Amino acid sequence: MMKFLISLVIGTGLAVGAWNLWKYWGSFSGEKTPAQQQAEAVAAIDPSTLPGLPEKLAGPLAIAEKRGGPGLRDWLKHYRKELEDPRLAWLELDCCLLLAKTSPAEAKELYASVKQRLAPNSPVYPRLKQLERMFE
């Protein structure tokens, strides 16, 4: 009988300890690093909903994006005056990513111009910060 009571006390103590350890571990897994928060902020943005792209340019933009970095670069040069931020900044960052493999110097230059122009309260700013290490 005494062995049973000792086993029961030890078992209950282990169960309570395991439960407290589980709760303690759960309190850390909910916290997010700044990098994770930036990634979530960028993922939450749908670029097609950003203002600054006239409807008439949506078709030509889709064609330019299919042509890759050079196509998007040429499209931006041609239509830049008709575009506005924040959509312009998003498209320029897309172009930076597409050009990074073939023309890294041009991609860095374009990134620097977006960084200089973009305000911290812009919806595109988290994406700009996320790409910072790649282009600086």
Residue 90 one-letter amino acid: W
pTM score of the predicted model: 0.68
At 116, is the pLDDT very low, low, confident or very high (cuts 50, 70, 90)? very high
User: Given its phi and psi angles, is residue 52 left (phi above 0), alpha (psi -120 to 50 degrees) or beta?
Assistant: left
Q: What tens digit of pLDDT does each residue of 21-58 get?
A: 888 777 666 666 666 665 565 556 777 788 888 889 88
Provide the pLDDT for residue 33. 65
Q: Give just the sign of the alpha carbon dihedral 104, 106, 109, 111.
A: negative
